[in-house]
Amino acid sequence: MNARGKAERHLGWLLCAPAVITMGAVTAYPILYALWLSLHRYDLRFPHDRSFVGLSNYWSVLSSELWWQTLGNTLIITIGSVSVELVLGFCLALVMYRAIFTRAMVRAAILIPYGIITVVAALAWKFAFDPTTGFVNALLNLEGAWLTERWTAFFVIIFTEIWKTTPFMALLLLAGLTLIPADLLKAARVDGATAIQRFFRITLPLMKPTVLVALLFRTLDAFRIFDTVFVQTRGAQGTETVSITGYNALIVRLNLGLGSAVSVLIFICVILIAVLFIKGFGTSVAQQRGER
């Protein structure tokens, strides 16, 4: 790493230090308490039957077929929603960036879904896909009950997530588009580069840091999905996610030990996703900036 890179990294740590210290103080206690609970047999239905069991709760979760099924369901929703949101977000960001007339109105209209509460959006689309009260079947001339079959229920859940959070992805990508030098694109146009060549050889490479941030935020958010699934199916039809599994163990069955083990495993998965994104995309971004 050159001197400029080291100075920027040092400044970045200094600027982030107050937020990191505050977040550490606020989140350290619940994380450590959840870790402590996960190492004990602690069921609120039998409060006096509490004992240290070590990693037994983790073994019970990891050896359960339900955990791996819900992990697969969560990955299906995460990959399905985030990949489509990235493509649609790019399209919406380009529309907002190039809109000359009524630019403010276009941006406000695109951002409306993101301003709606997730539970309200999930309920609205649940009623929209309902065979008796919804308009989707009449629009498509279908008669099926979408939320009674596994894959159609997945479609409704992923569709709701895409409709709700694509504007967030578009907003982040729009910020990246505004940082691309206009002179660079004009020079490429003068040299005869087509719009597709300018996008893939100039715009997209320069937007790698922004794409990394957008993908990281949305992937972590999508992996922890709870409210949309809970409102639309409550985990029925094989659509249960890892967050629903943790909710059932903690709130429904009042098993604090097992539920805390599920929560810690979700936390570890989130850290692994963040590390994979930073190691994967972050290396190419650092190389792009000339850092070693």
pLDDT at 197: 86
One-letter amino acid at 21 equals I
User: Using 50, 70 and 90 to split pLDDT, how confident is the model at 158?
Assistant: very high
Q: Report helix, strand or coil for 169.
A: helix
Q: Give a yes or no: residue 58 inside a domain.
A: no
Q: Give a yes or no: residue 9 inside a domain.
A: no
pLDDT at 267: 92
pLDDT at 58: 93
Q: Report helix, strand or coil for 149.
A: coil
Would you say residue 284 has pLDDT above 60?
no
User: Around Cβ 224, how many Cβ atoms within 10 Å?
Assistant: 17
The Cα–Cα gap between 160 and 126 comes to 9
Residue 26 in tokens? 């606020």
Q: Give a yes or no: residue 39 inside a domain.
A: no
Q: How far is CA 28 from CA 10, 24, 58, in A?
A: 24, 5, 21
pLDDT, tens digit, 9 for 90 and up, residues 100-149: 667 777 777 788 888 888 899 999 999 999 888 889 988 888 888 888 88
Q: Give a yes or no: residue 174 inside a domain.
A: yes
pLDDT, tens digit, 9 for 90 and up, residues 49-94: 888 888 999 999 999 999 999 999 999 999 999 999 999 998 888 8
Would you say residue 21 has pLDDT above 90?
no
Residue 9 in tokens? 């990294």
Percent of the chain with pLDDT over 90: 36
Looking at every residue in the chain, the average pLDDT score rounds to 86
Domain residues for 164? Answer: 64-288
Percent of the chain with pLDDT over 70: 95
Are the CB atoms for 230 and 126 separated by under 8 Å?
A: no
Q: Give a yes or no: residue 36 inside a domain.
A: no
Long-range own/partner contacts, residues 150-154 (CB < 8 A, 24 or more apart): 150/237, 150/238, 150/239, 153/232, 153/233, 153/236, 153/237, 153/239, 154/73, 154/76, 154/77, 154/80, 154/239
Q: Give a yes or no: residue 17 inside a domain.
A: no
Q: Give a yes or no: residue 151 inside a domain.
A: yes
Would you say residue 282 has pLDDT above 90?
no
Q: Give a yes or no: residue 35 inside a domain.
A: no
Task: Work out how many domains the chain is built from and give that number.
Answer: 1
The Cα–Cα gap between 101 and 104 comes to 9
Q: What is the CATH number of the domain that holds 176?
A: 1.10.3720.10
